[in-house]
Structure 1
Amino acid sequence: MRHMGIDFRLPAVEPVTDLRNVDLLGWLDPRQAAKSGYVQGGRSPDEMTGIPSYSVTDDEFYVLEGKVRRYHGRTVPPGGCMAKADALLNRGARGVTPADAGRRFDEDEVPRFVDGASDLAFKEPRIAAAEREWSDCMRSQGLDYRSTDEAEGDPRWATTVNDDLSPEPRGTRAEIETAVADARCRAETGYSDVRREVVAEAENRVIGRNRARLDVIRSLGQARLANSAEVLDGTLTLSW
């Protein structure tokens, strides 16, 4: 970006604190439930990616993404500065074609595989059976919910697009009591264990079907990690 005449700096990356598999496993922290109900730490995109949100100007966007061919008399590389940086970070990836090494790194590719495995898993009858067993447990405690999603999405505390500007109060006694009972029933019925088993099976099927592509992604990731260290210590730089 400086080569293009733009002083652009990304915000500093923060440590990643998101427990990425919690949603897939349907696990509810009983200690957090007793403290604040279904508010499990108030996760934000920062905690999930380590990258704080940031904004860019139109000029910065055009040059970053390569939406223009020239900027202030200078040639913008194909794909923009993001593609140029990715090509540098991808350099030396083993078993990767020049086409893969030279294109933008797709950070959403692995999450798409995860989503595919999740979709596959939730068609499994075992999860529906686990939901019914959990529901029976909740009913024995005077709480009538057909699914864990229904409990978490109870309109007494869940925020929707309709009330986003005036959200329901969180951490109320009713929410905490429900969440505590929910966490107890998930543990007593082995709900999360079932989900872990089914999701793992689905993920292994997705891995088996896409092993060659996942090997490419792994190789790119290893190269990018090593090259990032060299960029940060100044031993690897872009050439123009």
Structure 2
Amino acid sequence: MLAVVPALFLLAACSASDGGGADEARSTSCPRACCMGEAMEKLTAGAEMPVSGSGGNTEDQLTNIVLNAKGESMKLALQDQKFVAMQQRWSVCMKESGYSYPGREAAVGDPRWGDELGAAPSAEEVRVAVTDSRCQQKVNYLGVYTALLRQNDKKIIEKNSEQLKLVQDVWDTRLRNAADVIETGSAP
């Protein structure tokens, strides 16, 4: 995220030097998404990219490497028998208070709660949320889930260490290049 600020400085400098502006940035004929593409290219200069530039936005590909690894860890945690047993204990706890949910996702996604952002919760929604919180504490929901994630993260990191190391190297390069932009006012 820190590399975005120097990218914006490069974007502003590029727009000023070539006469480009907001209209140009929206143009579909503009190469490398105009100056933002150029800025990201300069910030990434010298980095070995873990994926080819073909097949989509390299920034998205870098992000997806990390998100896919995290998603795999979460999926393994949700399928683990420790999680399944804990979720069943949570469901029993909720049932004891009069609420029948097979898991937290069902309680959180209960259609009675609606999806209007900023709307005040109903009294029933508050009661369910309080019971949910109490049952989570009773079955150590967060502790079990976090321990499983930590355990799986280690496995996933080992399994994908080469790709994740390359992503880290790209970000380290970007931060060094960003520091240079801030210090000198120009790209590396």
In the superposition, the TM-score normalised over structure 2's length comes to: 0.74
Structure 1 residue 86: Cα displacement = 2.1
Query: Could you tell me which of 190, 197, 208 is aligned with 2:158?
Result: 208
Query: Which residue of 1 is the match for residue 136 of structure 2?
Result: 186
Structure 1 residue 236: Cα displacement = 3.0
Query: What whole-Å deviation, never above 9, does each CA across 1:8-65 have from its counterpart, x for those lacking one?
Result: 4xxxxxxxxxxxxxxxxxxxxxxxxxxxxxxxxxxxxxxxxxxxxxxxx6x4244xxx
**Whole-Å Cα distance in 2 between the matches of residues 5 and 112 of structure 1?**
40
Query: Which residue of 2 is the match for residue 147 of structure 1?
Result: 103
Percent identity of paired positions between Structure 1 and Structure 2: 24
Contact 1:121 1:202 in 2 (8 A): yes
Contact 1:158 1:168 in 2 (8 A): no
Higher relative contact order at CA 8 Å, sep ≥6: structure 1 or structure 2? 2
**Whole-Å Cα distance in 2 between the matches of residues 83 and 150 of structure 1?**
42
From the superposition, tell whether residues 99 and 182 of structure 1 become closer, same or farther in structure 2 (CA, over 3 Å). Answer: closer
Query: Which residue of 1 is the match for residue 79 of structure 2?
Result: 123
1:84 partner letter: E
Query: Which residue of 1 is the match for residue 21 of structure 2?
Result: 7
SS across alignment from 1:91: coil
Gaps of 5+ in 1: 9-56
Structure 1 residue 187: Cα displacement = 0.7
Where in structure 1 do 4 or more consecutive aligned residues deviate above 4 Å? Answer: 97-101
**Whole-Å Cα distance in 2 between the matches of residues 99 and 198 of structure 1?**
29
Query: Which residue of 1 is the match for residue 64 of structure 2?
Result: 108
Structure 1 residue 121: Cα displacement = 2.3
Matches within 5 A, 1:1-240: 1-2=14-15, 3-8=17-22, 59-62=24-27, 68=29, 76=31, 80-93=34-47, 96=48, 104-105=58-59, 106-159=62-115, 169-237=119-187
Structure 1 residue 199: Cα displacement = 1.5
**Whole-Å Cα distance in 2 between the matches of residues 134 and 122 of structure 1?**
14
How many residues matched? 169
Contact 2:65 2:164 in 1 (8 A): no
**Whole-Å Cα distance in 2 between the matches of residues 88 and 217 of structure 1?**
16
From the superposition, tell whether residues 194 and 97 of structure 1 become closer, same or farther in structure 2 (CA, over 3 Å). Answer: closer
Query: Which residue of 2 is the match for residue 21 of structure 1?
Result: none
Contact 1:92 1:223 in 2 (8 A): yes
**Whole-Å Cα distance in 2 between the matches of residues 196 and 97 of structure 1?**
31
Structure 1 residue 84: Cα displacement = 2.4
From the superposition, tell whether residues 61 and 111 of structure 1 become closer, same or farther in structure 2 (CA, over 3 Å). Answer: farther
Structure 1 residue 79: Cα displacement = 6.8
Contact 1:87 1:104 in 2 (8 A): no
In the superposition, the TM-score normalised over structure 1's length comes to: 0.60
Higher helix share: 2
